[in-house]
Structure 1
């Protein structure tokens, strides 16, 4: 029957070098065997050396993308990526409240894994007030969890406290990713707090490599795909983490500097 095949959508920017953003999401959807639709919010021109140009889509264009997908497809789960400013974040929230696109996986692209701030204060405030309360799953990295929770990452049980704070802010399920910016560390531990109050940790190896672009996008896209396939949040997170570790471990040599992960890894 029409629309029986599992369909998901990424609401994100296009990354011209294919390593992150919408391109990484679509590669992940393909590997997870779900049909991936897109709502493009911005276009980035860049390569493995860095980003060199950026352009946002117009509000009218973004609204039309939402409407067209809602008119024709049955989206079972959605994820967000980089949302550049307050206007776009409000548009996404408005449309998500208007249309049924299933559970929302929020990848809060606020701070890089190296600690660099990506959003201006107004956009950050809008993300907190509009999107976190809509999130079925939120996947902040270590620095994003610090910023969002207001808790110092050096505090004992930081990940637990940060997850509890994010849940109190409205997110149903929270995955606080472990810090992974030291070449001396051997493992990375992520903490997950589920909607029912249960929790678990996932510890995996730390991979010392410059080929890590798109890791956060891929993780949230894999969670989205698994939920779109009918998996529970816990099953989706565990499967996604395993997939991302394989993508990092099995490198492909693309780009001269900071390259992509390997989405074909098993």
Structure 2
């Protein structure tokens, strides 16, 4: 059984951060070890607000040290980082990745570089974006940015598939071995577009855009978790990419049908094992 450390935000109600990613990975057969960077009552897009607090960077380091102390870090197959609340937390993640790779050089670091999106703008503390760009993304095996985050990393504006492929190619030259762009918002108004690039190939996949009164939160965390779980389970990157797209669309489709905006992770859990929908990959190069 593969094991994954997941260092992300957590909400008590709903599904975002670890509460979006952990259960799907468990449902796919992984032993998941969650570490929370913040714990809030609910995600931050509720107009009523939220309660909770951020954790210290030392909490991340202490917990990883504790896992190492009982001799289990060598069994870790991957580490995911998502929302990080401070530059100090970014450093703690970098140190944790280095420690993990000393104990298991084959372990993967999957970085979801949460900086913001074109609608919400930058949603992270001072120093986080710089730490992601300068340290965490270059040291990652896999990065899972949205279009905004990929542009911040590479400096390349994206208005076409060719631009996106070029940005991914540059990103690969900066350290990562694979780039999964979880949303290319400028490429189509009719379809939701994602891209996967490795040194060998590049694919896009598109699925219908679903209509919600309020946009669901935690979808990117879900994409990262499902993709990572597939790769840890031995699936090729391209097949993991397709599985993540198909499974996440199935979850969102059920969410839409129920008139909800909190993603229906539990009710749609069958999607993580056997997706209902089947969207073809299109090879770019």
TM-score range, shorter chain: 0.7 to 0.9
Match of 1:60 among 49, 53, 58: 58
1:12 positional shift: 0.9
* Partner Cα separation in structure 2 for residue 155 and residue 233 of structure 1: 23
Match of 2:217 among 200, 213, 227: 213
Are residues 166 and 263 of structure 1, via their aligned partners in 2, closer, same or farther at CA, if it must alter by over 3 Å? farther
Identify the residue that residue 175 of structure 1 maps to in structure 2: 180
Equivalences for residues 120-131 of structure 1 within 5 A: 120-131=125-136
Q: Is the 8 A contact 1:139 1:175 kept in 2?
A: yes
* Partner Cα separation in structure 2 for residue 235 and residue 122 of structure 1: 35
Match of 1:107 among 102, 112, 123: 112
* Partner Cα separation in structure 2 for residue 45 and residue 159 of structure 1: 36
Aligned residues: 258
The alignment status of 1:245 with 2:249, answered yes or no, reads yes
* Partner Cα separation in structure 2 for residue 66 and residue 188 of structure 1: 36
Identify the residue that residue 89 of structure 2 maps to in structure 1: 88
> Normalising to structure 2: TM-score of the pair?
0.81
Are residues 156 and 247 of structure 1, via their aligned partners in 2, closer, same or farther at CA, if it must alter by over 3 Å? closer
Match of 1:202 among 201, 205, 213: 205
Structure with higher RCO (Cα < 8 A, 6+ apart): 1
SS at match of 1:91: helix
Cα deviation 1:199-240 (Å, max 9, x = unaligned): 111122211223522110001011121122122222222211
Q: Is the 8 A contact 1:31 1:264 kept in 2?
A: no
Are residues 34 and 264 of structure 1, via their aligned partners in 2, closer, same or farther at CA, if it must alter by over 3 Å? farther
1:163 positional shift: 0.8
Are residues 229 and 79 of structure 1, via their aligned partners in 2, closer, same or farther at CA, if it must alter by over 3 Å? same
Identify the residue that residue 78 of structure 2 maps to in structure 1: 77
* Partner Cα separation in structure 2 for residue 25 and residue 219 of structure 1: 8
Are residues 219 and 42 of structure 1, via their aligned partners in 2, closer, same or farther at CA, if it must alter by over 3 Å? same
> Normalising to structure 1: TM-score of the pair?
0.86
Q: Is the 8 A contact 2:25 2:32 kept in 1?
A: yes
* Partner Cα separation in structure 2 for residue 151 and residue 261 of structure 1: 35
The alignment status of 1:25 with 2:21, answered yes or no, reads yes
1:115 positional shift: 4.4
* Partner Cα separation in structure 1 for residue 57 and residue 156 of structure 2: 35
Cα deviation 1:66-96 (Å, max 9, x = unaligned): 1222334311122111011110001110111
Specify every segment of 5 or more residues in structure 2 that has no aligned partner in the other structure, as ranges. Answer: 272-285
